[in-house]
């Protein structure tokens, strides 16, 4: 017997609703039995349909033949590399390749390097890090990381794909889905290889090297040899092999070697202080930023750095979110320049944005002629803030980054650079003791060997007789926020994932609490949070900072949304909006997006940015006051597309910042909206492998939720989030009403209390 069934579903909320429908049949003769069917219902808005996948997702599946004999035609390099090769610049990276390890028996499973079979190397890997085994262990860890990078990069090799003509006749364009999310990582100055698909079976095969001249979203502009350009025609198909830039690894290998050669034991494994102060007894500092006078921890940190009493040990500034870590470090640099004659400072950070901020803050009180912003060759001019462009190593005539000689650089009191370009200063071989101080901001984001690039060969150890005024290393950061991004699980397991800041705080007694407090001779923990409403700060404070942070935000700012009409609970400016969406992908991009969450997010933006503002308990909000954080680059792109479609008439909408967690570290906004995206727990391990997503990564979670001053809105699937041990119940119990706004939940619900705002209503009509 056949039954025809009609299902009618109604919902006032958007999302993806998986439902199990069971039918029980009863018969006097045969008894009862049950038939179950799985049904999924998608409730979409018009916006969600417009944002949906442009084409079905097709993952990379290229398994390119590796020919035995290859003829390589050299590509056309960018201007900066041409100029460097012509020896116009003194600071070239004459860096050795590092120690080669050959004939490893590598065990690879699902593209992850799991083990290798050389007993003595296994012993070195598992041994605790000490100065005696420092080079051996870190060389080994760096090689493990490189092997994993080699395995990973070839996952993105492409076959039978077209190149496109560019506006510049000397360049061709390759579309690389996922490049915006560093999957694969392709930067200006890198190179790749292409082979004509129709020639792939030849031996030898001709491969053409293409240098990256520019990256625009998913389009990579490449400089190929004339031999390829002369034969290129539209729709010609190629096989593409990616490579990665070894310069960062080579720089780290050299830094590890120099650490041993320069005998930096007391800097890397400190056990004492010479207690030699550079300030006279009772000397006071005249702070440029008067607000710092009111903060005892900030004043103490600045004084200790200038006095240099920790030397030869580094001085650590432990700065939780919103406590003024960077401002403290910048003031310390200013005081060093004022108080210590002939001092020269190298100020570094892992990212360009952090270095640019250091430069902008220093410019307020340090003469511009004394500051030099030293950029890497891969940096694009348009990414440099206008106010610091005059201080940068950019040649407008050559239209590229330039590297001036050592004698020119010696004239600057402060040089600001990211970590890898600092290796060029090592190559320049400045006189011992020239750099009296090295400051590294956001040092928790860099692995130890990266930080070492800016230390070994640059900073001379403090010596009471030969270098009494120098040798001061200052590390500022927060080990509870974003750490290094690495590829190799083995390297991470055995210590490469630890920053120098975190290793010292975890393993060195000088930097650990005794009787509930730190030794201010070596470390200061900043305690006053000047950013967030107490409710927003409560959970991260208790989870990550021992409940020691003090709420010191401006009351008028932090409470400006406490009566907003959309709040579930007045005076509690946190909303968790639950939505069951789908993890979507499109074309060849591996990045995820969730249109249901975008729909909800746009609704909130319309409430936050109405035509008539300042009413109904809401302060006046402008787009520059709002930040949107999401872990996936494709979600960033889709949100930007939705904003352009739905809010195009909003004034200054271009000032609305939308980005990943990494783009928001060190930043703050009045209002933060977070789109977690993930609705399928099957992808948790993928997020963990690629260091994306909020799940299984408490540091990313911490950064995301501590950016908001006055209002925090989290949009996500509570059922999926609750399957992660970090999210499961704990944030909810601390944040109280955070989960009170939910748009769609399964009947069973998550393991914490939630107010269900609506469910799917289903009506079934049966006919024979």
pLDDT score at 10? 76
Residue 768 CA to residue 764 CA, distance in Å, equals: 13
Contact 208, 227 (CB under 8 A): yes
Cα dihedral 96, 101, 107, 111, rounded to 10, equals 20
In this predicted structure, what is the pLDDT of residue 104? 46
The fold for domain 70-242 equals: Elongation Factor Tu (Ef-tu); domain 3 (2.40.30)
| Torsions phi, psi for 725 (to 5 deg) | -60, -30
pLDDT at 385 over 80: yes
Q: What are phi and psi of 75, to 5 degrees?
A: -85, 180
Distance in angstroms (rounded) separating the CA atoms of residues 87 and 18: 64
Question: What region does 652 belong to: left with phi over 0, alpha with psi -120 to 50, or beta?
Answer: left
Question: What residues have CB less than 8 Å from 152, skipping those under 6 apart?
Answer: 111, 184, 487
- State the average pLDDT over residues 739-765: 41
Prior bond to 163 cis, omega within 30?
no
Q: 689 near 697, Cβ under 8 Å?
A: no
Backbone angles phi, psi at 175, to 5 degrees: -85, 125
Q: What share of the chain in percent tops pLDDT 70?
A: 85
Question: Residue 275 pLDDT more than 90?
Answer: no
Q: Give the chain's length.
A: 768
Which residue matches tokens 């900066």?
A: 80
Q: What is the pLDDT of residues 291-304, one digit of tens each?
A: 999 999 999 999 99
Which H, E and C letters describe 256-287, residue by residue? Answer: HHHHHHCCCHHHHCCCCCCCCCCCCCCCCCCC
User: For position 469, what pLDDT does the model report?
Assistant: 82
Mean pLDDT of 709-721: 91
296-529: CATH topology is Rossmann fold (3.40.50)
Q: Which of 182, 186, 180, 184 is nearest to 222 (CA)?
A: 186
Whether residue 549 is predicted with pLDDT greater than 60 in this model: the reply is yes
What is the distance of C-alpha 467 from the center of its chain? 37
Give the residue-averaged pLDDT of 211-215: 92
- CA-CA distance, 312 to 270, in Å (whole number)? 7
* Spatial contact of 712 and 720, defined as CB atoms under 8 Å apart: no
Q: Which of 367-371, 423-427, 631-635, 752-756 is the least confident region?
A: 752-756
For the cut 70, the answer to whether the pLDDT of residue 408 exceeds it is yes
Q: What is the CA radius of gyration of the chain?
A: 28
> 460 pLDDT exceeds 50?
yes
pLDDT of residue 89: 42
- The stretch 528-550 carries a mean pLDDT of 96
How confident is the model over 621-639, as pLDDT tens digits?
999 999 999 999 899 999 9
Query: Per DSSP, what are the bridge partners of residue 525?
Result: 318
* Structure tokens, 676: 């977690």
Give the pLDDT mean for 135-155: 91
**Strands 219-223 and 205-216, bridge-based pairing:** antiparallel
pLDDT value of position 77: 86
Q: What is the pLDDT of residues 60-113, one digit of tens each?
A: 666 677 777 889 999 998 765 444 444 444 444 444 444 444 444 445 444 455
Domain positions in the chain are 70-242, 296-529, 553-761
The mean pLDDT value for 207-232 works out to: 93
CA angle 451/453/458 to nearest 5° reads 110
Rounded to an integer, the average pLDDT of 588-605 is 92
Over residues 536-560, mean pLDDT: 96
Residue in 75, 482, 487 with CA at minimum distance from that of residue 249: 487
Give this prediction's pTM. 0.85
- Token output for 512: 């650990």
Q: Could you report how far apart the first and last alpha carbons of the chain are, in Å?
A: 8
pLDDT at position 85 is 45
Q: Residue 513 — very low, low, confident or very high, per pLDDT cuts 50/70/90?
A: very high
Phi-psi region of 463 (alpha: psi -120 to 50; beta: other; left: phi over 0): beta
Higher pLDDT, 109 or 161: 161
pLDDT at 750: 34
Closest to 346 (Cα-Cα) out of 455, 500, 461, 476: 455
What's the chain's average pLDDT?
A: 86
Q: May I ask the CATH architecture of the domain 553-761?
A: 3-Layer(aba) Sandwich (3.40)
Average pLDDT over residues 501-522: 96
480 or 735, which is more confident?
480
Distance CA 358, CA 352 (A): 10
Contact 406, 90 (CB under 8 A): yes
Task: Say yes or no to pLDDT of 749 above 90.
Answer: no
**Which pLDDT score, from 0 to 100, does residue 473 have?**
98
Supply 269's token pair.
């494994």
Q: What percent of the chain has pLDDT over 90?
A: 61
Cβ atoms of 355 and 348 within 8 Å: the answer is yes
Domains 296-529 and 553-761 share a fold: yes
- The answer on pLDDT for 744 being more than 50 is no
* pLDDT: which is higher, 610 or 267: 267
User: pLDDT by residue (tens digit) across 163-198?
Assistant: 999 999 999 999 998 787 677 888 888 999 999 999
Q: CB of 675 within 8 A of CB of 598?
A: yes
> Sorting pLDDT into bands at 50, 70 and 90, what band is 544?
very high
Confidence of residue 765 (pLDDT cuts 50, 70, 90): low
Give the DSSP per-residue string, 24-73: EEEETTTEEEEEEEEEEEEE--HHHHHHS-SS------------SSEEEE
| Structure-derived torsion over alpha carbons of residues 753, 758, 760, 762, reported in degrees to the nearest 10 | 120
Smallest CA-to-CA distance from 740 within 533, 561, 573 is with 573
H/E element, 540: helix 534-544
Q: What is the pLDDT of residue 751?
A: 31
């Amino acid at each position: 017997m056949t039954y025809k069934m009609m299902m009618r579903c109604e919902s006032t909320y958007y999302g993806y609703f998986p439902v199990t429908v069971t039918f029980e049949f009863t018969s006097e003769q045969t008894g009862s039995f049950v038939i179950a069917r799985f049904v999924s219902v998608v409730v979409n808005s018009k916006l969600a349909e417009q944002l949906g996948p442009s084409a079905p997702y097709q993952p990379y599946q290229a398994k390119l033949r590796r020919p035995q004999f290859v003829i390589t035609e050299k590509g056309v390099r960018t201007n900066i590399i041409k100029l460097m090769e012509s020896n116009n610049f003194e600071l070239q990276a004459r860096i050795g390749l590092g120690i080669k390890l050959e004939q490893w028996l590598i065990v690879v499973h699902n593209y992850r390097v799991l083990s290798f079979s050389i007993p003595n190397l296994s012993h070195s890997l598992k041994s605790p890090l000490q100065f005696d085994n420092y080079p051996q262990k870190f060389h080994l860890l760096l090689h493990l990381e490189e092997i994993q990078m080699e395995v990973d990069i070839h996952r993105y090799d492409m076959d039978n794909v077209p190149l496109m003509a560019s506006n510049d006749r000397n360049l061709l364009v390759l579309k690389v889905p996922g490049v915006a999310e560093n999957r694969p990582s392709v930067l200006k100055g890198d190179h790749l290889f292409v082979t004509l698909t129709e020639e792939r079976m030849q031996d030898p095969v001709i491969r053409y090297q293409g240098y990256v001249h520019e990256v625009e979203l998913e389009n990579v502009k490449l400089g190929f040899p004339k031999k390829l350009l002369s034969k290129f025609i539209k729709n010609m198909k190629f096989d593409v092999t990616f490579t990665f830039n070894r310069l960062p690894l080579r720089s780290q290998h050299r830094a590890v070697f120099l650490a041993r050669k320069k005998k930096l034991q007391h800097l890397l494994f400190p056990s004492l202080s010479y207690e030699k102060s550079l300030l006279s007894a009772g000397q006071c500092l005249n702070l440029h930023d008067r607000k710092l006078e009111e903060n005892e921890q900030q004043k103490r940190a600045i004084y200790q750095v200038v006095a240099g009493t920790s030397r030869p040990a580094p001085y650590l500034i432990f700065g939780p979110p919103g406590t003024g870590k960077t401002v403290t470090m910048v003031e310390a640099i200013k005081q060093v320049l004022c108080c210590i004659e002939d001092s020269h400072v190298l100020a570094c950070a892992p990212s360009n944005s952090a270095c640019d901020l250091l430069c902008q803050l220093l410019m307020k009180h340090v003469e511009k002629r004394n500051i030099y912003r030293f950029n890497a060759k891969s940096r694009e001019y348009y990414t440099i803030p206008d106010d610091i462009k005059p201080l940068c190593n950019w040649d407008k005539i050559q239209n590229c980054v330039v590297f001036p000689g050592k004698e020119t650089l010696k004239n600057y009191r402060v040089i600001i650079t990211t970590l890898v370009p600092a290796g060029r200063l090592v190559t320049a071989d400045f006189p011992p003791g020239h750099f009296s101080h090295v400051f590294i901001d956001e040092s928790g984001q860099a692995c130890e060997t990266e930080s070492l690039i800016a230390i070994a060969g640059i900073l001379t150890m403090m010596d009471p007789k030969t270098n009494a005024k120098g040798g001061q290393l200052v590390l500022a950061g927060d080990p509870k926020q974003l750490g290094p991004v690495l590829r190799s699980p083995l390297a991470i397991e055995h210590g490469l994932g630890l920053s120098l800041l975190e290793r010292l705080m975890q393993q060195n007694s000088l930097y650990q609490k005794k009787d509930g407090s730190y030794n201010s001779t070596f470390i200061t923990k900043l305690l006053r949070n000047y950013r967030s409403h107490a409710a927003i700060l409560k959970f991260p404070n208790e989870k990550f900072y021992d409940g020691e942070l003090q709420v010191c935000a401006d009351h008028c700012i932090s409470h400006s949304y406490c009566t907003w009409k959309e709040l579930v609970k007045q005076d509690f400016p946190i909303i968790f909006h639950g939505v069951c969406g789908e993890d979507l992908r499109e074309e060849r991009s591996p990045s995820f997006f969730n249109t249901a969450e975008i729909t909800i997010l746009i609704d909130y933006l319309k409430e936050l940015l109405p035509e008539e503002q300042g009413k109904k308990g809401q302060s006046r909000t402008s787009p520059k006051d709002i930040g949107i954080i999401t872990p996936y680059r494709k979600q960033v792109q889709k949100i930007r597309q939705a904003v352009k479609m739905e809010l195009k008439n909003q004034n200054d909408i271009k000032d609305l910042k939308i980005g990943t967690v990494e783009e928001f570290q060190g930043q703050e906004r009045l209002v933060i909206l977070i789109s977690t995206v993930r609705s399928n727990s099957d992808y948790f391990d993928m997020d963990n492998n690629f260091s994306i997503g909020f799940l299984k990564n408490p540091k990313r979670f911490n950064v995301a939720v501590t950016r908001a001053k006055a209002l925090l809105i989290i949009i996500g699937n509570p059922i999926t989030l609750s399957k992660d041990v970090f999210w499961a119940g704990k944030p909810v119990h601390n944040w109280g009403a955070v989960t009170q706004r939910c748009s769609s939940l399964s009947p069973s619900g998550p393991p914490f209390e939630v107010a269900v705002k609506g469910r799917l209503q289903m009506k079934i009509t049966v006919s024979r």
